[in-house]
Every structure is written in C-alpha cells, then in structure tokens.
Amino acid sequence: MLPVERRQRILDILNENEFLELKTLKDTLQISMETLRRDIQQLVNDDLITKEYGGIRIKRSTNGESVIEQRLDLNIDKKNTIALKAIAEISDGDCIFLDSGSTTLQIAKYLDKLHNLTIITNSIPVMLQALNQGHTIISIGGKVRQSEHSITSFDFLFNFDQLNIDKAFICCSGISLEKGITDYNLDEVETRRKILSISNKAYLTADSSKINKIVTVKICDITDLDVLITDNDIDLQTMPQLSENISIL
C-alpha cells in the first residue's frame, strides 16, 4: 500500500472512531510502528489530525469543517478525472442519485453543464453545490451524520419506492473481487443498498486507491453494479480481473 493510500485509510478509520490508540491502528493496518509514526506526522503536518497521549484524533476546525471537506484535496486529480467521466454518462433530463462522498461532490461541481436534471442525494454539500444550477433537488430525509455532512435514511422516514432513478453514482471505501464493495458506516451502506435496488443503472465512483481494499461493511457484490468509474492509475494486472465482472471507465 502506498503512503498516500495508508494515510487515506487512517482518515477513513478515524472518521468512524474519532480517537484511536496507536497500537490498535498499527494492528489494523498491519504496518510497523515506525511507518505508522511517519504517516501520522505527515497527517499532522497536513493539519488533518492531532496527536494525543497514546493515540490520534480527527482535527475539527473552529468553523465546523467536516472530515469530507478535509479529504477534498486528497487525490484531487483522480477525483476530477472520475467526475469528468461521470458527467459524460449523464444526459439532460436524467434523474440521478449522488451519494455522500468527496468524489461525488466533485461530480456535482460539473452539473451546471447539464439541464433539467432531478438530483436525489443524501449529501448536504452536494445539495449546496447544486442549489443554484437550475436543477430539481430531492433530499433524502433522515438522520444527519455530522462527520460526512450526509443524511442516512430508513424506509419509515422516506418512501424510496416512489423514486425512479435513471443513474445512481455510489461511493465506497473498498473494492475486492472476493468480498465485493465495502464501506465503514452501516447507515450509509443501508441507504446505498436501497438506492441500488431501485436504480436503472448503477455506477461505482472510486479512485484506484480503493481497489483491493476490504473494510467493515459489505454494500454489494461487484456484479450488482453496472459500471466502475475510476482514474487512470488503476493497476493493469487488476484490470482484466475486474473487467470480467464490471464495465470500467
């Protein structure tokens, strides 16, 4: 795993735990303490985490900046590549779902190039980004998840079955041929599963650092998705295996 991928993983894990002991993190990542300390120091230098006695904690800014905002500059070139590929898949008049995540937020920034969309989302940053683009925005009601500025929902809070989604753009934290598509938060996963079940076409938007990773909760199998939109740094040895199970852009 490359250093940038390890540091992203540390942020992802901290996103769910707020505070982690160094030993726990070392065991989870299966790396040496020396390597972990170097990664931690870089994240401290990047002003993303704080060191405390025995562990580390996600840094919160005074203006309430969220973890998703802290992640925006990580792999930004890859996310822009994915966003532009995703925009090419969307047509005027489409009803789309944009998941909560820093990659789908990049997609939202380009939606002003399109007309008359219906945008269904559980991401507050996506809503705000698309607010003045002239589209119809539908927010999934439910519980607000502060760290991601997202809304997680259940059937009794929102009647999903009334939605007719042409194209869903889903995020994840891990992609594995063996274990499928995975993420950390159960509430987010439940929402994604429901959205996938009612969408005509399902896109997974994930940069190449997520490939061959397995995290806490399974969203679905790779074969439950139609298209993987990723960046151009995907491992060529992985590509043939993935492409047997899913179309790749």
217 pLDDT tier (thresholds 50, 70, 90): confident
pLDDT of residue 81: 92
51-72 pLDDT, tens digit per residue, is: 888 788 876 544 344 455 555 5
Domain ranges of the chain: 3-59, 71-248
Q: What percent of the chain has pLDDT over 90?
A: 27
Q: What is the pLDDT of residues 146-162, one digit of tens each?
A: 555 555 555 545 666 77
pTM here is 0.69
Task: State the DSSP code for 245.
Answer: T
The answer to whether 90 and 112 have CB atoms below 8 angstroms apart is no
The residue to which tokens 């043939």 are assigned: 240
SS3 content of the chain, % helix, strand, coil (to 5): 40, 25, 35
Mean pLDDT of 229-243: 81
Contact (Cβ atoms closer than 8 angstroms) between residue 156 and residue 150 = no
Tell me the average pLDDT across 222-239.
86
Is CATH 1.10.10.10 the classification given to domain 3-59?
yes
Q: Residue 152 has what pLDDT?
A: 59
Instruction: Name the average pLDDT for the chain.
Output: 81
Farthest-apart Cα atoms in the chain, separation = 54
Would you call 114 helix, strand, or coil by DSSP?
coil
The band of 243, judged by pLDDT with boundaries at 50, 70 and 90, is: confident
Number of H helices, E strands in the chain: 9, 15
Residue 125 tokens read as 């940053």
Residue 198 carries which DSSP code?
A: T
CATH of domain 71-248: 3.40.50.1360
pLDDT tens digit sequence for 39-49: 888 888 766 78
